[in-house]
Amino acid sequence: MTRTAPSNTTAVIAPGDARYENAVRCGFNQRFVSDVDYICYPKTTGDVVAAVGDAVAEGKRVTVRSGGHGYEGTASTDGGVLVDVSLMTEVEFDPARRAFSIQPGAKVGALYTELYKRWGVTVPVGECIEVCIGGHLVGGGFGPLSRRYGSIVDFLCAVEVVVVDASGQARAVIATDDPADPDHELWWAHTGGGGGNFGVVTRYWLRTRGAVSDDPAQLLPPAPTTWRNGYLMWPWDKMTEQDFVRILRNYGTWFERNSVPGSREADLTAFFCATHKSSDVITVGSLIDDDIPGARELTNEFFDAVCEGVDVEPSVRHSDDVVSWLYHFTHANRADHNGLGGSRFKLKSAYLRKAYTEDQIARAYRHLDTEDPKKIFFMFIGYGGQVNALPPEATAVAQRSSVLKGAYLSSWWDPAEDDYHIGNLRALYRDVYAETGGVPVTNDANEGAYINYPDRDLADPEWNTSGVPWSTLYYQGNYPRLQQVKQKYDPRNEFRHVLSIELPE
C-alpha cells in the first residue's frame, strides 16, 4: 500500500546556518564528517516522502542517518541530501497489526525503557543505548538476549519504507512478512540487508513469530527483572602467550559446544576483550537473566571452563553482580559511542563457527604484546543459540551457524595518527586470517562478516586477497536475492554508498 504526503513539517539545515557545523559533526566516527548540501529532519512519513522526492527532482544523492553511529561514512559523505530521521522516535502498540510500532529514531535505551515500563516486554537489541533502531535493525542487530531469543530481525513483521520508482517518484510502501504480500520481498530485504540500500525506513513493526494473542504483553518476549554480570580478569604483566592462547581457546570452545537453540547454556552470553598489554588487563565477562533458575551456577560453570588449564590466576573472579535489568541497560551500562568524545574509529568484524586455532590466537597475541602501545580492542561476543534456529534464507541475515562474533577495533583522536592506528588494526586482522586471504571467508570455521560493522577494506583487493567479493562476505548466498529487491524498489540506484547493494548486471 502507499501513502500520500501531508503538509511538510521538515526542518532543514544548510551551510550558513549556525546549526550546520554541529549537525554534520554529530556522527560517531569523526573520520567521516558530512559534506552534504543540506540536512532534512522529518517528523512524519509524509515529510520523508517529500524530502526524498525533492532531492531526486534536484538530482541530488540521498543518504540516510538515524543515530549517526555508522562506522564508514556511508550516510554522510560525497554531497547530496542527508535525511536524518532522529526526530522520529515514537514507540507504540498498534492493535490493528497486533505489533509494536517503532520509528527509526528511537534509541535502544528508550526502546528498552518504553517496552519494559509500558508492557513488561523486550527485544534482543544491543547494549549501546544511544544507537537508534533505524540502522541497527535493518543490519541484523543483536545483543545480550540474542542467544536466548534470536536476532532482532526475527521479530520484524512489517516495515514502512520510502522508495523511489523508475520515474523518480517517491512513495511510502508498507511491506509485511505475509508471503502473499506483493511487497513481501521488500520486507525480507529489511531483515538484515543493511541500511541505506533500498530507501528510507520510517517505521518498523515487531512481534514474536507465530504469536496469536491480542495482548501486547504476549507479543514480545518477557523482559528480565534482574540481571547477573560476572567478570574474570587477568593481569597482562603475568600473562604468557601459552596462557593467552589457552584462555581464548577455552572461551571459543565453550561456545562451540554450548550454542544449541533452546539449550540451558544458550541463556548465557559473554564477551572476551583483550587490548594492548599497556592497558593492564584481559577480561572475560558473562551476562545472564538472573530470573532463570541456576543462573549463578551456569555463570560459574562457564568461568571454570574458561580457566581450565590456565596457569596464571585471574586477579578478579566475580559472579555475583546482580542489578535491576532495566537499570543495567539504561543507566549502569551507558555504552554511548558518542561518549568517546568525537573520536576517530576503525572496526572490522567476523562471524566464527568455531574457536580460533592456537596458531591464530598466538598471532594475535604477538600484535598485543609489543613495546609500542597500540590502541586495539580484540573482542569476541557470544552468538548462536536461538539465532541459529532459522535457516539462512529465512532472513537477509544469512549467518545462521556461527557461535561468536569477532570485533577488531581501534579509536583515537588525532587525525595525524590515522595511518598508524588503521595500519595496526589491518595488520592484526590480516595475520589472523592469513590462510583465507586476510578476511573471514566462509568455511567450516568462518561465516563472513557483519554488515552493521561495515569495513571498506573488504572491497579493497590490497586488504582482501581472497578473491571473494565483499558482498559475499557480508550476505553469503542471499546477495543475488537482495540485488533483485534493489532492482524492483530502487531501479535508479538513488540510495547508494561505498558498500551498498549493487543493481544486477
User: Quick one: pLDDT band at residue 337, thresholds 50, 70, 90?
Assistant: very low
Contact 193, 482 (CB under 8 A): yes
Q: What mean pLDDT do residues 232-243 have? A: 96
Q: What is the pLDDT of residues 349-368, one digit of tens each?
A: 999 999 999 999 999 999 99
SS3 (DSSP) at 210: coil
Tell me the torsion sign for CA atoms 395, 269, 258, 244: positive
Using CB atoms within 10 A of its CB, is residue 466 exposed (0-12), middle (13-18) or buried (19+)? middle
- At which residue does the C-alpha cell 509500558 appear? 118
**What is the pLDDT, as a whole number, of residue 8?**
63
Please state whether beta strands 38-41 and 81-84 pair in parallel, antiparallel, or not at all (unpaired). Answer: parallel
Q: What is the pLDDT of residues 145-166, one digit of tens each?
A: 999 999 999 999 999 999 999 9
Q: Give the distance, in angstroms, between the CA of residue 353 and the centroid of all CA atoms in the same chain.
A: 18
State the pTM of this model. 0.94
Q: What is the pLDDT of residues 164-187, one digit of tens each?
A: 999 999 999 999 999 999 999 999
Which residues 6+ apart lie within 8 Å of 16 measured at CB? none
What the block records as the C-alpha cell of 420 is: 598508524
**What is the pLDDT, as a whole number, of residue 338?**
44
User: Quick one: pLDDT band at residue 336, thresholds 50, 70, 90?
Assistant: very low
Q: What mean pLDDT do residues 24-38 have? A: 82
Distance CA 465, CA 204 (A): 38
Question: What DSSP state is assigned to residue 344?
Answer: E
What the block records as the C-alpha cell of 366 is: 604477538
Tell which residue, 311, 312, 228, 235, has the closest CA to residue 270: 228
Contact 127, 335 (CB under 8 A): yes
Distance CA 77, CA 326 (A): 36
Contact 122, 220 (CB under 8 A): yes
Lowest mean pLDDT among 76-80, 114-118, 176-180, 385-389: 76-80
**What is the pLDDT, as a whole number, of residue 5?**
41
Decide if pLDDT at 464 tops 70.
yes
Contact 142, 151 (CB under 8 A): yes
170-176: strand order across its sheet: 2-3, 170-176, 156-164, 200-206, 99-102, 91-94
User: Quick one: pLDDT band at residue 387, thresholds 50, 70, 90?
Assistant: very high
Mean predicted lDDT score pLDDT of the chain: 93
Which bin fits 245, alpha (ψ -120 to 50), beta or left (φ > 0)?
Answer: alpha
Distance CA 358, CA 279 (A): 23
What whole-number percentage of the chain has pLDDT above 90? 83
Phi then psi dihedrals of residue 309, to 5 deg? 75, 5
Decide if pLDDT at 238 tops 60.
yes
Contact 80, 37 (CB under 8 A): yes
**What is the pLDDT, as a whole number, of residue 459?**
96
What the block records as the C-alpha cell of 315 is: 586477579
**What is the pLDDT, as a whole number, of residue 373?**
87
**What is the pLDDT, as a whole number, of residue 24?**
83
Contact 337, 28 (CB under 8 A): yes
Please state whether beta strands 81-84 and 62-65 pair in parallel, antiparallel, or not at all (unpaired). Answer: parallel
Distance CA 502, CA 505 (A): 9
Complete domains list, the chain, with CATH: 11-84 (3.30.43.10), 91-222+480-489 (3.30.465.10), 226-476 (3.40.462.20)
Contact 155, 146 (CB under 8 A): no
**What is the pLDDT, as a whole number, of residue 94?**
98
| 103-137 as b/e: b if 16+ CB within 10 A | bbbbbbbbbbbbbbeebebbbbbbbbbbbbbbbbb
Q: What angle do CA 389, 390, 392 make, to 5 degrees?
A: 135
Phi then psi dihedrals of residue 504, to 5 deg? -65, 150
Q: What is the pLDDT of residues 398-434, one digit of tens each?
A: 999 999 999 999 989 899 999 999 999 999 999 999 9
**What is the pLDDT, as a whole number, of residue 29?**
80
Q: What mean pLDDT do residues 453-473 have? A: 97
- At which residue does the C-alpha cell 532534512 appear? 40
Phi then psi dihedrals of residue 13, to 5 deg? -125, 125
Decide if pLDDT at 333 tops 60.
no
Contact 256, 144 (CB under 8 A): no
Question: What DSSP state is assigned to residue 351?
Answer: E
What whole-number percentage of the chain has pLDDT above 70? 95
Q: What mean pLDDT do residues 116-127 have? A: 96
**What is the pLDDT, as a whole number, of residue 99?**
98
Q: What mean pLDDT do residues 335-347 have? A: 62
